[in-house]
């Protein structure tokens, strides 16, 4: 059906009131889609007016530029917003649309939003008042009267024209006659015409102009239903309940100028004025990123000279004096790097990072530079990174070069539980307006989409739980496949949400739900960041974040520092502390020696708890890889990643390492670059050095090539570089097919390459954690357990692994345990680890600490008389067995929990008579296991599988250790608790199931077909019985030959059949993470 | 009468304080446990299909009323009656349950369907009957027919299948004893009972009253008595009456708040309605209520008189229960004054055309395809359109089985007719007329 209203050509029209999905659940379309639709409709300029923020500004202006549309910048401000926008049908507070007239207006708007947020003091509660807005505006804004909730229209509807006129006059008084406009909109409701008539009359009486908008909350008509779904999500209600609160008219979409001309023909002055205002508010917004702050340097230093001095001092210590350097070329490299750093003006940047690292050192916080910063000798000299870039021959240009886009990237890994101290240090050093954490926009993924959509359609929570669990992948890119899987592989409708839920969930994917904090990014500026981007409070106390995510931040070249939390650094620190405290041995992780036994441990894949190499895939490769030196670890870290696995680099590398395949190079000139990885390219630095060696590129050019290949954005630049590369190759005599295959190789590899420097940084942590596991297993597991949650393995698996390494793990006891797990043994005894009180369900840090400080206790009443506990907490203590010292029967203790929890502190112990318990059956071992797992998340005693072993033996099931003696292709039966279910992208659909029994870990691989057949069992049961065929990395014959008994072997089971074992309450597996 | 007597909800331990022990020892049971027959149609227990299952189940209730005038509905698809009178009259429990099965079988096999009410008698089968001392035990007997204590009889008649599980008079506590505690209708304590190793109802029943009181508090004493077979039921086993506002000792049919009072004339009016219903059958009497809404025809609703007291809050999907839309909500953009004086229940077909004699439609973008020039109501002659306003569009209830996608225009025709037209399913209808 053609619209008669699109037939005639109409003048330009400006859309002055439009929400994108950055109105968080009150808008549906992305800034890009909004602009695209505006362009299709022939709108010449369009405003973005999201609620209380400028979240989408960067995306919006980029899209507007792409489509050749003039962007207008604004926001819809909530006045007197005493409550939050979410969880309510109709959030209170009136609205006001603000549009910036100039760059100054934009700056003032951003500041006004920031101030309101800071004043509100918590997330999503900005405090705006008309008066403060008037001060902020200073004539640089246009004010529209806004939507149904706008001050003037709302007063008109509620109280009539006279009070509404007073409100309008107030706006005029505060913002100026020329800046206030009465907004008309028409959503095809019977009341729209009345209201617009009344508004026009008000405007006439107050002598202000009238403009027309579409007050759009979605780009196209089709998105109306989705908008309602979002509204219901925002109000936390069902669609049925929402009915009557939200507009039922599918009309809040963008309109063409022709449509608007028709709709507003009753008010002929509105449209021309709208178009004029659109032009008045048009300006080219150049968001100019503030510079980095200048560091305070001692007189008479400049930033540059101070950096040089600090670097030299560090170099002196690490490399020795210039005349007598320990690493050849180190000083030359340092001078070269300093020259480039100064040329690019990044001295201040390095000083800022150096200051943060110095702060960490002064506070005894473990931190380490990661990523490409480790390519820099300056970073090494300053103590920012641990990798000696010169000795390792790392390419500085991967980190910083003249040709590089934007500032370098220095990421700092900081031990997780102390990262907050570092962040707060940065806030206090530079000030809240000059520093902010980068936002992370949390968008809908399949699971959350299914959950929220099913909820608004009124489904019950058990259904919703089941459906969201049925989705095995949470990657947005995989959404469609995930749904297909959810739909087809389980035939029972039980696991499949209804069609309507699926269809809306699909539409929801990618729409922002809320703002959270980016895991590390922090921006530091010399002037107030709020001039460019508003800041707001995060959920977490004392944290302020930008309203932009890292893409927006990068788009305007704001310099971002990544301060990342790393669990392993925390664990290492704890471990070193425990060793020092318990054994009196001080360990400097920088000084630990290289030892063969450590590599033996790694070769045997005895790596549970060890950084980076503890995953199933890593454990599977280690026995094939057989690392014997530090650089092997660097390769191992880079090798077992999705990229190289998919790029099929793993097997050739391992074959060459085993001498099965010859090491060859495409051209002799490539040998220098690829020698260290046996001719298989693994690192981004290699890509660069190939370009340097074979095509005569400068290091800077080589980095440009790497960036261009990695981003695949600018095809023009790519063509230019390609031409350069080919001519460079030709001058070295490489032409035709050879040149082409070098190019193809580089292009293929560029997508998965990994910075060598990053691998080096991580390899240090791999070695350090392996060394500690070997020498101090007690302290090592203790530290890991206290650093949870982290790593690949659950606490239960860590405890089981500890036991396999002769570390005794003891349950928490009220009179023996500390708050956290502790080592009870001294250096001469076998390690004994006691779990802490905080590990008990519902106890937590605060209460655990109180319990610990008041210990010992003589009775349960005694506990209650000194520490305030509720019934649940007391019951958890009782059920976990933590009270067996004072009440040997767990069941009696559980019985007493309720009467004693009412026990008053002023009562004398022993007086209570009411808790004498009846005869209760003692807990069976299985019941104890269940109680342990329920209350501690793990059991320290025998595992359920161990209890079942006689039965399992009778049906012929083997243990993990038995499997070592089984030849490839033999059929076996195994049983265990599922610790992981994984389906990595690189596995081509195969599912990896990891089982744990009392002797160790069993890995099994399930083909697509087998998984499909046994899916419902395999996915839902905590304990599985698996039969299948053995796959060994080394044949049994070789392994059992004399003298080579310890040859490492990786064993895998090719699954043929899966059945459940019923074990009661078991720890839950980590599924499809 | 089967309705619960509120006196029983009151704990005999009300006011138990420091001297709990002395009071406990003087306590005597107040309730004698009646024998109950509970009946369940598992197929009709969801009631999510626009009341279809509810109406079908109503047929079963009507049949049961032949045996006992007081049938209590417990949950969707579940009802119960006290056995004492009926069992004596119909020759004992076994005879009675057989008669009930036979009678319902006749209904099922008659294959009566009523398309308008969407009743499907075939879905009544299978029917399960449980007989025991106490309402709760009879409900439990329905769902646990494998217990060794039970006497079970099944019946097949054509398309009908039924099963009766009888707990003999003196064995109710034995019957309950072997069942898991998870069947108890108080989910709060089940977890604790498991933790204590008390896994069967019997071992729970074996605890002393003092122990139960001191560990679980007085609220659980009633449950304990029920577990011992000494009490008919505890609050909380009726699935939807919980949310019903009815005073407990008044028969649902005599709902007072319907008329807003209870004086004699209203009682009489209600009586007449009941008589009328007994003649016309259930759900034949409708009453009009005003409600919140966007369009004029949304702002009132006919409610089946006897349905307004039934199902509230069904499980799972959006329920279609006849609940009035909230008048307190803002209904943004809704129709206001002037209201039409006549709203047509059955819409009348209207033709609307442009100057070029093209039929007028409303586009997806809520625009009229052209200016309306002439109107013809119900196929009668064409009149000129003098003036019009609109269209006003709404799309609501799109998530339900009865989505509404409508556009309205107000229009004055040359014959002086002021009316509201609605465009729905690509067709214009006369919706209402203004004075």
Kindly list the structural domains of chain B, giving each domain's residue range(s) and its CATH number in brackets, ordered by start.
31-168 (3.30.70.270), 342-434 (no CATH)
Higher pLDDT, A244 or A99: A99
Q: Are A508 and A453 in contact (CB under 8 A)?
A: yes
Q: Which residue of A has its CA nearest to B199?
A: A921
Q: What is the dihedral of CA A837, A840, A843, A847, to 10 degrees?
A: 0
User: Is the CB of A244 inside 8 Å of chain B's CB atoms?
Assistant: yes
Residue B164: its pLDDT value, please? 94
Residue A488: its pLDDT value, please? 43
Beta bridge partners of B119: B114
Q: Are A350 and A382 in contact (CB under 8 A)?
A: yes
Q: How far apart are CA A149 and CA A97, in angstroms?
A: 11
Residues in chain B: 435
Is A134 a residue whose pLDDT tops 60? yes
Is A454 a residue whose pLDDT tops 90? yes
Coil, strand, or helix at residue A545? strand
Q: What is the pLDDT of residues A591-601, one digit of tens each?
A: 899 999 999 99
Q: What is the pLDDT of residues A783-818, one digit of tens each?
A: 999 999 888 999 999 999 999 999 999 999 999 999
Residue A281: its pLDDT value, please? 93
Q: Which of B196, B200, B327 to mutate to test the interface with A (most CBs of A within 10 A)?
A: B196
Give the one of B207, B318, B366 whose C-beta lies nearest to A251's C-beta. B366
Q: Are B419 and B432 in contact (CB under 8 A)?
A: yes
Confidence of residue B281 (pLDDT cuts 50, 70, 90): very low
Q: Are A512 and A21 in contact (CB under 8 A)?
A: yes
Which positions 850-879 of A are in contact with B (Cβ < 8 Å)? 875, 879
Q: What is the pLDDT of residues A810-820, one digit of tens each?
A: 999 999 999 99
Residue B325: its pLDDT value, please? 67
Q: What is the average pLDDT across A735-751?
A: 82
Q: How far apart are CA A613 and CA A633, in angstroms?
A: 9
Q: What is the mean pLDDT of chain A?
A: 88
Using CB atoms within 10 A of its CB, is residue B15 exposed (0-12), middle (13-18) or buried (19+)?
exposed
**Chain A residues closer than 8 Å to B397 by CB:** 243
Q: Which residue of B has its CA nearest to A879?
A: B195
Q: Which of A88, A187, A188 to mutate to test the interface with B (most CBs of B within 10 A)?
A: A188
Asked if the Cβ–Cβ distance from A225 to B398 is below 8 Å, we say yes
The DSSP call for residue B228 is: T
Is A957 a residue whose pLDDT tops 70? yes
Residue A617: its pLDDT value, please? 86
Q: CB-based contacts of A238: which residues, under 8 Å, 6+ apart?
A: A232, A455, A456, A457, A458, B318
Residue A641: its pLDDT value, please? 81
Asked if the Cβ–Cβ distance from B326 to A244 is below 8 Å, we say yes
**Chain A residues closer than 8 Å to B215 by CB:** 895, 898-899, 917
Confidence of residue B252 (pLDDT cuts 50, 70, 90): very low
Confidence of residue A494 (pLDDT cuts 50, 70, 90): low
Distances (CA, A) of A882 to A815, A873, A894, A1010: 8, 12, 11, 44
Confidence of residue B114 (pLDDT cuts 50, 70, 90): low
**Chain B residues closer than 8 Å to A841 by CB:** none
Q: Is the pTM of this model over 0.80?
A: no
Q: What is the pLDDT of residues B1-33, one digit of tens each?
A: 333 332 323 233 333 333 333 343 334 344 568
Low-confidence winner among A156-165, A214-223, A403-412, A500-509 (lowest mean pLDDT): A403-412
Q: What is the pLDDT of residues A100-111, one digit of tens each?
A: 999 999 999 999
Give the one of B214, B333, B398 whose C-beta lies nearest to A247's C-beta. B333
Higher pLDDT, A444 or A1019: A444
Q: How far apart are CA A748 and CA A744, in angstroms?
A: 6
Q: Are B321 and B311 in contact (CB under 8 A)?
A: yes
Element containing residue B384 per DSSP (H, E): strand B382-396
Residue A48: its pLDDT value, please? 95
Q: Which of B46, B199, B367 to mutate to test the interface with A (most CBs of A within 10 A)?
A: B367
Q: What is the average pLDDT across B110-121?
A: 68
Q: What is the average pLDDT across A62-82?
A: 88
Higher pLDDT, B261 or A228: A228
Q: What is the average pLDDT across A1010-1039?
A: 85
Long-range contact set of residues A685-690: C-beta below 8 Å, sequence gap at least 24: A685/A375, A685/A394, A685/A395, A685/A398, A685/A755, A685/A756, A685/A757, A686/A753, A686/A756, A687/A746, A687/A749, A687/A750, A687/A753, A688/A395, A688/A397, A688/A398, A689/A395, A690/A742, A690/A746
Coil, strand, or helix at residue A328? coil
Q: What is the average pLDDT across B219-235?
A: 85
**What's the gap in Å between the CA of A594 and the closest CA on chain B?**
51
The DSSP call for residue B57 is: H
Beta bridge partners of B422: B408, B429
Q: What is the pLDDT of residues B310-322, one digit of tens each?
A: 333 333 223 334 4
Give the one of B292, B365, B392 whose C-beta lies nearest to A189's C-beta. B392
Is A926 a residue whose pLDDT tops 80? yes
**What's the gap in Å between the CA of A214 and the closest CA on chain B?**
12
Give the one of B197, B216, B365 whose C-beta lies nearest to A3's C-beta. B365
Which positions 133-152 of A are in contact with B (Cβ < 8 Å)? 148
User: Is the CB of B249 inside 8 Å of chain A's CB atoms?
Assistant: no
Q: What is the average pLDDT across A847-875?
A: 91
Q: Which residue of A has its CA nearest to B391?
A: A188
3-state helix, strand, coil in chain B (%, to 5): 30, 25, 45
Q: CB-based contacts of A164: which residues, under 8 Å, 6+ apart?
A: A152, A153, A155, A156, A198, A202
Is A489 a residue whose pLDDT tops 90? no
Q: What is the pLDDT of residues A13-29, one digit of tens each?
A: 999 999 999 999 999 99
Element containing residue A368 per DSSP (H, E): strand A367-370
Beta bridge partners of A523: A436, A560
Residue B217: its pLDDT value, please? 82
């Amino acid at each position: 059906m053609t619209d008669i209203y699109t037939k005639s050509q109409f003048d330009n029209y400006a859309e002055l009131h439009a929400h994108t999905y950055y109105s968080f659940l009150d808008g549906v379309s992305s800034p890009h889609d909004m602009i695209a639709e505006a362009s299709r409709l022939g709108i010449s300029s369009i405003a973005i007016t999201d609620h209380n923020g400028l979240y989408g500004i960067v995306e919006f202006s980029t899209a507007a530029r792409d489509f050749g549309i003039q962007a207008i910048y604004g926001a819809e401000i909530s006045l007197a917003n005493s409550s939050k926008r979410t969880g309510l049908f109709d959030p209170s507070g009136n609205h006001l649309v603000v549009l910036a007239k100039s760059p100054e207006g934009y700056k003032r708007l951003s500041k006004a939003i920031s101030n309101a947020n800071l004043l509100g003091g918590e997330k999503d509660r900005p405090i705006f008042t008309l008066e403060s807005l008037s001060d902020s505006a200073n004539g640089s804004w246009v004010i529209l009267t806004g939507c149904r909730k706008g001050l003037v229209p709302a007063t008109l509807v509620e109280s009539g024209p006279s009070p509404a006129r007073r409100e309008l006059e107030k706006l005029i008084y505060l913002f100026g006659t020329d800046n206030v406009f009465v907004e008309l909109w028409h959503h095809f409701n019977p009341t729209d015409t009345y209201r617009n008539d009344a508004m026009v009359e008000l405007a006439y009486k107050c002598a202000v102009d009238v403009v027309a908008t579409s007050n759009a909350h979605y780009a196209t008509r089709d998105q109306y239903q989705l908008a309602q779904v979002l509204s219901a999500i925002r109000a936390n209600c069902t669609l049925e309940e929402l009915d009557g609160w939200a507009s039922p008219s599918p009309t809040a979409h963008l309109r063409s100028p022709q449509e608007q001309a028709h709709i507003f023909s009753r008010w002929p002055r509105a449209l021309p004025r709208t178009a004029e205002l659109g032009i008045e508010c048009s300006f080219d917004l150049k968001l100019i990123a503030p510079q980095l702050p200048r560091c305070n340097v001692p007189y008479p230093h400049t930033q540059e000279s101070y950096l040089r001095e600090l670097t030299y001092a560090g170099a002196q210590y690490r490399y020795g004096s210039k005349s007598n350097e320990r690493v050849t070329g180190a000083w030359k490299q340092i001078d070269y790097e300093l020259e480039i750093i100064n040329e690019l003006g990044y001295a201040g940047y390095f000083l800022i990072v150096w200051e943060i690292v110095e702060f960490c050192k002064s506070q005894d916080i473990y931190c380490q530079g990661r990523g490409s910063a480790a390519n820099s000798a300056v970073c090494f000299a300053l103590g920012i990174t641990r990798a000696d870039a010169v000795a390792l021959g790392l390419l500085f240009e991967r980190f910083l070069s003249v040709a590089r886009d934007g500032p370098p990237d220095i990421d700092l890994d900081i031990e997780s539980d102390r990262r907050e101290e570092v962040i707060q240090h940065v806030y206090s050093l530079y000030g809240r307006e000059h520093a902010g954490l980068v936002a992370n926009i949390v968008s809908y993924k399949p699971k959350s989409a299914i959950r929220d959509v099913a909820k608004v359609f009124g489904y019950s929570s058990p259904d919703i739980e089941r459906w969201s669990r049925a989705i095995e992948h949470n990657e947005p890119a995989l959404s469609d496949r995930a749904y297909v899987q959810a739909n087809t592989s389980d035939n029972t409708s039980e696991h499949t949400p209804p069609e309507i839920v699926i269809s809306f969930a699909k539409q929801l994917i990618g729409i922002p739900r809320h703002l959270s904090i980016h895991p590390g990014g922090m921006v530091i500026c010399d002037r107030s960041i709020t001039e460019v981007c508003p800041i707001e409070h995060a959920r977490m106390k004392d944290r302020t974040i930008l309203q932009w995510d890292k893409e927006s931040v990068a788009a305007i070249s704001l310099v971002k520092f990544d301060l990342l939390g790393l669990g392993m650094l925390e664990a290492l620190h704890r471990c070193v502390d425990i060793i020092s405290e318990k054994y009196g041995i001080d360990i400097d992780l920088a000084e630990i020696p290289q030892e063969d036994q450590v590599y033996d441990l790694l070769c045997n894949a005895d790596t549970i708890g060890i950084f980076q190499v503890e995953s199933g895939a890593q454990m599977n490769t280690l026995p094939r890889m057989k690392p014997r030196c530090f650089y092997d670890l660097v390769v191992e870290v880079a090798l077992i990643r999705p990229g190289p696995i998919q790029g099929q680099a793993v097997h050739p590398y391992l074959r060459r390492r085993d001498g099965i395949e010859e090491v060859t190079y495409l051209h002799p000139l490539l040998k220098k670059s690829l020698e260290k990885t046996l001719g298989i390219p693994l690192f981004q630095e290699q890509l660069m050095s190939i370009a340097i060696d074979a095509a005569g590129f400068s290091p800077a050019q080589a980095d440009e090539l790497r960036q261009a290949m990695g981003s695949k954005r600018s095809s023009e630049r790519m063509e230019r570089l390609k031409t350069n590369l080919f001519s460079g190759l030709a001058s070295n005599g490489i032409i035709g097919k050879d040149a082409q295959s070098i190019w193809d190789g580089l292009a293929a590899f560029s997508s998965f390459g990994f910075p060598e420097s990053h691998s080096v940084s991580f390899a240090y942590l791999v070695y350090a954690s392996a060394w500690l596991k070997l020498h101090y297993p007690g302290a090592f597991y203790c530290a890991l357990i206290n650093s949870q949650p982290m790593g690949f393995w659950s606490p239960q698996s860590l405890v089981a692994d500890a036991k396999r390494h002769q570390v005794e793990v003891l349950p928490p006891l009220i009179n023996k345990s500390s708050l956290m797990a502790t080592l009870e043994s001294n250096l001469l005894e076998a390690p004994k680890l006691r779990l802490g009180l905080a590990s008990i369900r519902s106890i937590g840090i605060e209460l655990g600490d109180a319990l610990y400080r008041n210990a010992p206790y003589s009775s349960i009443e005694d506990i209650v008389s000194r520490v305030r506990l509720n019934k649940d907490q007391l019951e958890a203590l009782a059920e976990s067995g933590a009270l067996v010292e004072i009440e040997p029967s767990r069941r009696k203790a559980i019985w007493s929990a309720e009467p004693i929890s009412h026990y008053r502190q002023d009562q004398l112990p022993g007086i209570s008579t009411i808790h004498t318990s009846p005869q209760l059956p003692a807990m069976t071992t299985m019941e104890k296991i269940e109680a342990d797992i329920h209350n501690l998340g793990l059991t320290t005693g025998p595992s359920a599988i161990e209890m079942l072993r006689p039965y399992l033996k009778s049906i012929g099931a083997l243990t993990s250790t038995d499997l070592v003696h089984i030849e490839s292709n033999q059929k076996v039966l195994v049983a265990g608790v599922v610790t992981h279910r994984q389906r990595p992208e690189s596995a081509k659909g195969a599912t990896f199931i990891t089982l744990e029994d009392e002797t160790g870990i069993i890995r099994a691989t399930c083909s697509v077909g087998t998984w499909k057949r046994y899916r419902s069992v395999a996915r839902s049961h905590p304990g599985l019985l698996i039969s299948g065929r053995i796959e060994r990395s080394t044949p049994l014959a070789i392994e059992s030959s004399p003298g080579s008994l310890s040859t490492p072997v990786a064993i895998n089971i090719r699954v043929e059949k899966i059945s459940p074992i019923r074990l009661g309450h078991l720890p839950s597996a980590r599924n499809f993470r | 009468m089967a309705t619960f007597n509120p006196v029983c909800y009151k704990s005999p331990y009300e006011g138990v304080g420091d001297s709990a022990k002395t009071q406990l020892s003087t306590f005597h049971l107040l309730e004698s446990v009646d024998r109950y027959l509970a009946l369940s149609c598992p197929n009709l227990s969801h009631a999510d299909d626009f009341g279809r299952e509810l109406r079908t189940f109503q047929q079963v209730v009507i049949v049961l009323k032949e045996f006992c005038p007081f049938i209590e509905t417990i949950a969707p698809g579940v009802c119960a009656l006290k056995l004492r009178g009926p069992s004596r009259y119909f020759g004992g429990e076994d005879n009675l349950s057989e008669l009930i099965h036979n009678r319902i079988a006749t209904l099922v096999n008659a294959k009566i369907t009523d398309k308008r009410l969407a009743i499907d008698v075939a879905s009544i089968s299978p029917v399960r009957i449980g007989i025991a001392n106490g309402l709760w035990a009879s409900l439990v007997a329905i769902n646990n027919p494998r217990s060794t204590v039970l006497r079970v009889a099944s019946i097949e008649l054509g398309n009908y299948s039924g099963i009766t599980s009888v707990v003999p008079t003196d064995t109710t506590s034995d019957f309950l004893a072997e069942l898991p505690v998870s069947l108890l209708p108080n989910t709060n304590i089940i977890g604790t009972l498991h933790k204590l190793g008390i896994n069967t109802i019997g071992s729970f029943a074996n605890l002393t009253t003092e122990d139960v009181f001191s560990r679980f508090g007085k609220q659980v004493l009633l449950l304990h008595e029920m577990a011992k077979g000494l009490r008919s039921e505890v609050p909380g086993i009726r699935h939807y009456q919980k949310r019903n506002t009815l005073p407990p000792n008044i028969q649902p049919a005599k709902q007072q708040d319907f008329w807003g009072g209870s004086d004699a004339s209203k009682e009489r009016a209600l009586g007449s309605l009941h008589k009328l219903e007994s003649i016309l059958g259930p759900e034949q009497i409708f009453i009009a209520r005003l409600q919140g809404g966007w369009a004029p025809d949304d702002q009132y609703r006919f409610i089946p008189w006897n349905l307004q007291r039934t199902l509230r809050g069904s499980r799972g999907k959006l329920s279609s229960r006849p609940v009035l839309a909230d008048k307190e909500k803002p209904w943004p953009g809704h129709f206001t004054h002037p209201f039409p004086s006549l709203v047509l229940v059955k819409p009348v077909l209207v033709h609307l055309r442009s100057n070029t004699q093209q039929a007028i439609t409303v586009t997806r973008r809520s625009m009229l395809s052209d200016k309306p020039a002439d109107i013809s109501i119900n196929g009668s002659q064409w009149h000129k359109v003098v003036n019009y306003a609109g269209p006003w569009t709404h799309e609501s209830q799109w998530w339900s089985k009865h989505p509404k996608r409508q556009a309205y225009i107000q229009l004055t025709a040359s014959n002086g007719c002021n009316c509201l037209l609605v465009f729905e399913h690509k067709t214009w209808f006369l919706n209402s007329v203004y004075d």
